[in-house]
Every structure is written in C-alpha cells, then in structure tokens.
Structure 1
Amino acid sequence: MASSIRKRRSAIAAGAEAQALASKVLTLQADAGLTIAMRMPLLMQGALGSSRGQREAAKAVSEKVSAVMESGFAASQAAAMFWWGLALNPLGNVDLAEEAAKVANSTLEPFSKRTRANAARLTGRRR
C-alpha cells in the first residue's frame, strides 16, 4: 500500500515538473518571438551605422554568451546534485523523469530570465 502511494506521489511530482517545464518553454518562445520582432529594426539601423543599433547587437551577443555559460553551469550543478543524491541514497525512490525535468528546468532558467527582461525592455512594459 505504501509503495503505491509513493509511486502516485512520484508520478504527481514528475507531472508537476513536466508541466512547469512546458509552461517555461511556451513563455520563452513567446518572449523570444517578441524580442526578435522588436530587435530587428534596431539591428538594421545598427547595420546602417546607428550607434544605438550597434549597442543593441553587442548587448544581444554578450547576453547570449553569458546565458549559455550560466545555463551550462546550472545544468551541471543539477545533474551533480542528482548523482550525489543517488550515490548517498542508492536504495532511495528516485524518479528519473522528475529529475530530468528538474535539470531541463534549471538549464532553461537563464535564457527565460533574459528573454523575459528583453521583451519587457524592448516593448516598454513593466514587469
């Protein structure tokens, strides 16, 4: 009886993590599309010599580099925490789907944070 309750809780937790991941991906896609649409005129101006457009292009590149580095660190940290937990408690009840969703969630967070901030900044809306 206790095993079935544990399995049910594990499935619910994995489903919650997967739902959070799907929500994050959808929000990220919407914000990324908005950011691209708002940045394109600025980048075209930068190609024609506008200093504002060139600053925006430099900002876009530097944000991407820092997001990739932060994302890689977050993913390796989440994976390391999973393996340490497994090593220290080998007989514990581990749900690989939930853990994989946690790793993916922590990997996407730096991109999500920057994309949301860029969409808000470029459209002039407040967060």
Structure 2
Amino acid sequence: MAISNKRLRSVTGAGVEAQALASRMMTLQADAGLTIAMRMPMLMKGALGDSRGQREAAQAVNEKVSAVMESGIAASQAAAMFWWGVALNPFGQVDFTEAAAKVANSTLEPFSKRTRANAARLGGRSRKG
C-alpha cells in the first residue's frame, strides 16, 4: 500500500522536528557540562567570600529563573498555536508528534540560548548562533 503525499509530508515534518530537538539536546548538554565545569571553582571561591564568585552565583540563579519563566511562556504559546490550528481546521490532518516536538523545541530555546552564551563567556570564546 502506497503512502499518501500528505502522510509523507507529515512524517517528514515530524522527522525534521525530532532531529532538530535531538541536535538541540546534544548541544545543550555539552554547553551545560562545560558551563558547570568552569563555574564550580568560581562558586567555591564565592562560598568563601570572593565577590566575583558571589556575583556569578547570583547571575546563575537569575538566569535559571528567567529561563524557566520564558520557557513556560514559549511552551504555552507553541501549544496554543497548535490548538488554534486544530480549531480553525478541524478536518485537516493533525500531527501530534510534530506538534509535540515543536513545543519541546520552543521550550528548550531559552535554556539553550543561555547555556550557549555562558559556555562562550566562561570559556573566553566568541559566541556563534
């Protein structure tokens, strides 16, 4: 039995989203590990009274809080856009897999952006992407 063009586009779209999600996760994990490794000595000094380490700790907490808030908004917006699409086109083909991958991608973007910037800043390299 042949696969219809709509089904093929749906599978391709979900595959592209899943690949982008996997790529983002791998990059995020690498940058997060690098950031943690470079921050630990600074945070240890901050615990002993070093002002630079204390500033770094405060910055880390502020970044986490803002990333969580931004991530929640992005996930809500992506989910809302999906459901608006379903509501406005009730008889269209719905691809929950692609929609879930899009929501996950938009949820990770704030964290990805911050970990990439922190890894670049702490590692002393120029930021790309």
TM class by shorter chain equals over 0.9
Q: Give the deviation of 1:81 after TM superposition.
A: 0.5
- Structure 1: give runs of 5+ residues left out of the alignment: none
The answer for the alignment partner of 1:79 in structure 2 is: 79
TM-score by length of 1: 0.97
Q: Which runs of 4+ in 1 moved over 3 A?
A: none
TM-score by length of 2: 0.96
Cα distance in 2 for residues equivalent to 1:123 and 1:112: 16
Cα distance in 2 for residues equivalent to 1:26 and 1:39: 20
The answer for the alignment partner of 1:117 in structure 2 is: 117
Aligned residues: 127
Which amino acid counterpart does residue 37 of structure 1 have in structure 2? Answer: A
Cα distance in 2 for residues equivalent to 1:62 and 1:46: 16
Cα distance in 2 for residues equivalent to 1:92 and 1:45: 58
* 2:104 matches 1:99: no
The answer for the alignment partner of 1:27 in structure 2 is: 27
1:38-95 C-alpha deviation (Å, 9 max, x unpaired)? 0000000000000000000000000000000000000000001111110111001121
Q: Give the CA RMSD over aligned residues.
A: 1.4
The answer for the alignment partner of 1:68 in structure 2 is: 68
Cα distance in 2 for residues equivalent to 1:77 and 1:47: 39
- Which sits farther off after the overlay, 84-93 or 55-64? 84-93
Identity %: 79
Which amino acid counterpart does residue 116 of structure 2 have in structure 1? Answer: R
